[in-house]
Structure 1
Amino acid sequence: MPDPVPTLADLALEVRSKNAGPFWVTMELFMRDADGYRIAADESFLNERVIAELYKVDESEILFFRIPSLNVVKISFPRPISQGSLRDRDMHAGQHHVPLARMRIAA
């Protein structure tokens, strides 16, 4: 049975993550419309504190880029483990977006 509480992924065309060089990750929320963008861009819903908790990174190092003309929110932060190091389990940072995409939208 589907979950009745929508997630960010439900409101987005695409949620993805990728390397931003060997030491940084960038995540992008491409929202379907202006209404979805307003939710994703709302600083009381999605902010540095939330990302720091989700990804166990220092809140002061998180960068947000809100682009209303494109309905896009970009978030960048240092990778906890540099790309290609012995302990790197996601070489291209392609799976980092999953916790963000699963964030529930308050009803």
Structure 2
Amino acid sequence: MKTTLKEIADVIRSKNAGPYELTFDIIFKTQEDFEAACAKKIINEEVMAGLYRIPVSDVINIIEFKPAKAIKATIVRPMASGELGETDVYGAQQHAPLVDLEVTL
């Protein structure tokens, strides 16, 4: 089934994980969609690197957390929080590329 992440997730959000990292939470609507997403590794290092135009080595981790039907991904921030020229001090607006990500379950 081809869909977008926003169709199968209740929550897609981003936030700081310290001044040098961003973390993304994807909380799925159903256990079935969560399990399919995990099985197919729809959120992986290459996907995150491509969406955020960073090297794969800047993807710190991707964690599947079954009790919450969630996937958490953490990346190195392209600019430190509050650095001159940085436009999202809290990292709260960085999830947008994930919203329309097309996935196949």
With the length of structure 1 as denominator, give the TM-score of the two structures. Answer: 0.86
Q: Quick one: structure 1 residues 90 and 39, their matched pair in 2 at CA, closer, same or farther if it must change by over 3 Å? A: farther
Partner of 1:83, secondary structure, is coil
How far is 1:43 from its partner? Answer: 4.8
Count of aligned residue pairs for this structure pair = 103
How far is 1:40 from its partner? Answer: 3.1
How far is 1:35 from its partner? Answer: 1.7
Q: Quick one: structure 1 residues 89 and 39, their matched pair in 2 at CA, closer, same or farther if it must change by over 3 Å? A: farther
Structure (1/2) with the larger strand percentage: 2
Q: Which runs of 5+ in 1 are unaligned?
A: none
Tell me, yes or no, if the aligned pair for 1:9 and 1:15 is still in contact at 8 Å: yes
How far is 1:87 from its partner? Answer: 1.0
Per-residue Cα deviation, 1:13-62 (whole angstroms, up to 9, x for no partner): 11000000110000000111112212432454221011101101221231
Tell me, yes or no, if the aligned pair for 1:9 and 1:102 is still in contact at 8 Å: yes
CA RMSD of aligned residues (A): 1.6
Tell me, yes or no, if the aligned pair for 1:8 and 1:40 is still in contact at 8 Å: no
Counterpart residue type for residue 12 of structure 2 = V
Match of 1:45 in 2: 42
Q: Are 1:64 and 2:66 matched, yes or no?
A: no
Superposition pairs of residues 1-107 of structure 1, within 5 angstroms: 6-62=3-59, 63-106=61-104
Q: Quick one: structure 1 residues 43 and 106, their matched pair in 2 at CA, closer, same or farther if it must change by over 3 Å? A: closer
Q: Which runs of 5+ in 2 are unaligned?
A: none
Question: Which has the higher mean CA deviation after the structures are superposed, 80-89 or 31-40?
Answer: 31-40
Counterpart residue type for residue 40 of structure 1 = A
Counterpart residue type for residue 102 of structure 1 = D
Partner of 2:57, secondary structure, is helix
